[in-house]
């Protein structure tokens, strides 16, 4: 009888521990999952030469950490005729995934320190952490497609 009680207690403890463990993993994943909903007060202003764009940051840890870096004035280097990139002053939290298709106006993080602003839509096999998107990217390509650019990013 005592052996049976012990085994029952052991089985219950095992189920409890695995349940706690799976809850912890689920909570950790929920904290790290990419949230594609807009951040409250997540509007930022991006100025390229004399052209100003409004962007909306996503409600995720990466975008929140990015917003804390603002204002930024950075030299963004052209790459592949479809994006500008710049190294940030510090690493940010990441949650990379492959979007499959990059959209004109996507603002993303490559690795933990490279900010990328895309000005053309194309397919990709690379993984990025989504930060936000230019609200109206219609004039983004002409503004960014002329070589490297000094870009000012600030809260709105």
What pTM does this model have?
A: 0.77
Q: What are the φ and ψ backbone dihedral angles of 141, each rounded to 5 degrees?
A: -60, -50
- pLDDT tens readout for residues 54-108: 999 999 999 999 999 999 999 999 999 999 999 999 999 999 999 999 999 999 9
Quick one: average pLDDT of 109-121? 98
Q: What are the φ and ψ backbone dihedral angles of 143, each rounded to 5 degrees?
A: -70, -35
Q: What is the pLDDT of residue 10?
A: 47
Helices assigned H by DSSP within the chain: 2-32, 61-69, 140-144
Give the tokens for residue 18: 């695995």
Report the C-alpha gap between 156 and 140 in whole angstroms: 18
Report the C-alpha gap between 32 and 61 in whole angstroms: 8
Report the C-alpha gap between 39 and 64 in whole angstroms: 8
Q: What is the pLDDT of residue 15?
A: 47
Q: What is the pLDDT of residue 12?
A: 46
* Residue burial 101-123, b: 16+ Cβ < 10 Å; e: rest: ebebbbbbbbeeeebbbbbbeee
Quick one: average pLDDT of 97-123? 97
Quick one: average pLDDT of 113-139? 97
Q: Is 59 helix (H, G, I), strand (E, B) or coil?
A: coil
- pLDDT tens readout for residues 22-64: 333 333 333 344 567 989 889 999 999 889 999 999 999 999 9
Compute the CA torsion angle 93, 134, 142, 147 (nearest 10 deg).
-10
Q: What is the pLDDT of residue 29?
A: 33
């Amino acid at each position: 009888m005592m052996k049976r009680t012990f085994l029952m207690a052991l089985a219950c403890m095992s189920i409890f521990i695995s349940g706690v463990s799976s809850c912890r993993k689920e909570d950790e994943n929920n904290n790290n999952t990419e949230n594609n909903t807009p951040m409250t007060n997540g509007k930022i202003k991006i100025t390229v030469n004399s052209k100003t764009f409004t962007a909306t940051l996503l409600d995720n840890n990466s975008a929140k950490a990015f917003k804390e870096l603002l204002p930024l004035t950075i030299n963004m280097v052209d790459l592949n005729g479809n994006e500008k990139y710049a190294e940030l002053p510090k690493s940010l939290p990441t949650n990379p995934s492959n979007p499959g298709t990059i959209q004109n106006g996507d603002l993303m993080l490559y690795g933990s320190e490279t900010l990328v602003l895309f000005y053309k839509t194309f397919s990709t096999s690379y993984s990025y952490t989504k930060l936000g998107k230019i609200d109206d990217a219609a004039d983004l390509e002409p503004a960014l497609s002329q070589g490297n650019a000094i870009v000012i990013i600030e809260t709105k």
